[in-house]
Copies of this chain bind each other. A is one copy, B any other.
Amino acid sequence: MFASLHCDNENVTAKTLAELGEFGLISLVQESLGSSDYVLIGSGDDAAHIATADGTYLVSTDLLIEGQHFRRDWSSANDIGRKAIAVNLSDINAMGGVATALTVGLAAPGDLEVAWLRELLAGMVAECDKVGAHIVGGDVSAADHVILSITTMGDAERPVPRSGAQPGDVVAVVGELGMAGAGLGALSRGFRSPKAAVDRQRVPEPPYAAGPVASAAGATSLIDVSDGLIADLGHIAKASNVAIDVSSAAFEIPDAVQTVASALGGMDPLGFVLTGAEDYALVGTFGSTEAVPEGWRPIGRVQTGTGVTVDGQPYENAAGFEHWR
């Protein structure tokens, strides 16, 4: 779903989409969004929460376009299928829900190999199986590149939005951080190792069970780390109207991240952990240390104010990925 809520950069003078930028376009689309009694949680969260005549469901959608989100020379069809589903299931996880049903839009060029498509679909189904979700329908079309459009529906007993963090809450994370970003760094320079990081860039391993656990534990806010930890904590801070400070000492640097940071000329490995995208870990806030579920790592505190800091200081270079840049 949309990465951020109520963006400020209303670039009314932009003539083209490239000038407007990704967040400007999201702003433009958000102006078109409707609200009504049955929109319980609307745009700007990981998923929307919608009422039916007799119940509720969560829904989230993601577009994945060849060249923008995946490369056929970097990843197998199976891996592309798994990742496409994983990023969608993660959105439902990030609401504290369990995904149940998905629709798939698939467009592709005529010269695409059928064997590649079979592998793509097998990867999709394998990832769905991890949470017991099913593809229930879709649409196909011709296109110049492979395009995947996935919409995921799910259930949550108590959906957890981004907007409930309170000053004094403990910030905690579950899942890997920095691995996918380090893998992207390696692949971008033509490396195919370290395998652990490259594999994670190709296929994330979201902690699927953790979202419902966080919901049951009373999490006050929740988001998945898709844009990078600092950027995604920024979405919580903004939606909740609070500040968040994280402690650099709270993080372990995975070996593979350390290896990539060294190989790329002595970069700070903490940078991958704090700003690397696409790990699909979960980060949330809890009312007390005791409320943090087992397996989650406390990394900071919610405070009054705005913005995200590391050890009390602004963190440089914290911008997430943006299209048309």
A interface residues, Cβ below 8 angstroms from B: 1-2, 14-20, 22, 25-26, 28-29, 31-36, 38-39, 42-43, 47-48, 50, 52-57, 59-65, 68-69, 100-101, 103-115, 117-118, 121-122, 124-125, 128, 132-145, 147, 149, 151, 153, 155, 157, 323-324
Task: Across the interface, name the chain B residue whose C-beta is closest to A35.
Answer: B134
Q: How far is the CA of A11 from the CA of B26 in the complex (A)?
A: 42
Chain B nearest CB from A154 CB (Å) reads 9
Contacts of A104 in B (CB 8 A): 29, 61
Bound Cα distance from A115 to B117, whole angstroms: 37
| CB neighbours of A139 from chain B (8 A) | 1-2, 61-63
CA distance A106 to B137 in the complex (A): 20
CB pair A136 B15 closer than 8 Å: no
21 pairs from A and B in contact (CB 8 Å cutoff) = A1-B138, A2-B138, A15-B114, A16-B112, A16-B114, A28-B114, A29-B138, A32-B124, A32-B135, A33-B136, A34-B136, A43-B136, A43-B137, A53-B155, A60-B103, A61-B104, A61-B137, A61-B139, A63-B141, A143-B147, A144-B145
A61/B105 in contact, CB under 8 A: yes
Q: Does B63 lie within 8 Å of A32, measured CB to CB?
A: no
Q: Which residues of B contact A113 (CB under 8 A)?
A: 15-17
How far, in Å, is A44 (CB) from chain B's closest CB?
Answer: 8
- Quick one: which of A50, A53, A104, A141 has the most chain B CB within 10 A? A141
Q: How far does the Cβ of A250 sit from chain B's closest Cβ, in whole Å?
A: 31
Chain B residues closer than 8 Å to A133, beta-carbon distance: 34
- Bound together, the chains give a CA A33 to CA B136 distance in angstroms of 6
A33: min CB distance to chain B, Å: 5
Return the contact of A323 from the options B39, B47, B69, B141 (Cβ within 8 A).
Answer: B141
Residues of chain B lying within 8 A (CB to CB) of residue A111: 16-18
Docked pose: A146 CA to B224 CA in angstroms = 28
Number of copies: 2
Contact status of A63 and B149, CB under 8 A, knowing A39-B101, A101-B50, A142-B324: yes
Measured CA separation A59–B36 after assembly (Å): 19
| Bound form: Cα–Cα A121–B63 in Å | 18
Known pairs A43-B137, A62-B105, A137-B47; A68 contacts B114 (CB<8 A): no
Q: Are B137 and A16 in contact (CB under 8 A)?
A: no
The docked-state distance in angstroms from the alpha carbon of A324 to that of B108 is 10
A16 to chain B, nearest CB (A): 5
| A60 CB, min distance to chain B CBs, angstroms | 7
Give every chain B residue within 8 A of A68 (Cβ-Cβ): 107, 141-143
Chain B contacts for A64, CB-based, 8 A: 141
Nearest chain B CB to A57's CB is how many angstroms away?
A: 5
Q: Across the interface, do A34 and B323 meet the contact criterion of CB distance under 8 Å? A: no
Query: Given contacts A114-B16, A114-B20, A324-B142, are A107 and B65 in contact (CB under 8 A)?
Result: yes
A32 interface neighbour in B43, B121, B132, Cβ under 8 Å: B121
Question: Closest Cβ of chain B: how far from A211's Cβ, in Å?
Answer: 15
Q: Which residues of B sit under 8 angstroms from A39, Cβ to Cβ? A: 101, 134, 136
Cβ B101 vs Cβ A17 within 8 A: no
